[in-house]
């Protein structure tokens, strides 16, 4: 199985995607519930939230490459 197919499988995995959403939701709750003076805490959780987006985007990009390759014109 290639990287594209593995990525597709991962993005379709309900457990994996649910856990990624749970991590992001936890980050947002930490940000919302932080004290006004906890700037570093909010920034840390914001960075974690964005890194989860980066990971998901990476796998989505790998998955999309398979579709792009299949639609690419073949010149022989």
- Give me the sign of the Cα torsion angle 34, 35, 38, 43: positive
In a domain, 15, yes or no: yes
DSSP-derived letter for residue 73 is P
Residue 75 counted as domain residue: no
What are the residue ranges in the chain where pLDDT is below 70? 69, 71-76
pLDDT at 19: 97
Contact of 17 with 60, CB cutoff 8 Å: no
Is 59 domain-assigned? yes
What residue spans of 13-38 are helical by DSSP H?
14-32
Rounded Cα distance, 44 and 50, in Å: 10
pLDDT score recorded for residue 61: 95
In a domain, 74, yes or no: no
What percentage of the chain has pLDDT greater than the value 70? 89
Share the mean pLDDT of the chain.
92
- Reported as a single tens digit per residue, the pLDDT across 29-43 is 999 999 999 999 999
Owning domain of residue 23 = 3-69
Asked if the structure places residue 62 within a domain, the reply is: yes
Tally of structural domains, the chain? 1
Beta strands in the chain (DSSP E): none
């Amino acid at each position: 199985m290639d990287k594209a197919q593995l990525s597709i499988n991962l993005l379709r995995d309900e457990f994996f995607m649910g856990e990624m959403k749970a991590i992001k939701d936890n980050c947002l709750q930490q940000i919302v519930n932080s004290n006004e003076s906890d700037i570093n805490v909010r920034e840390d959780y914001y960075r974690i939230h964005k890194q989860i987006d980066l990971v998901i985007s990476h796998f989505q990009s790998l998955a999309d490459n398979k579709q792009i390759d299949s639609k690419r014109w073949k010149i022989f």
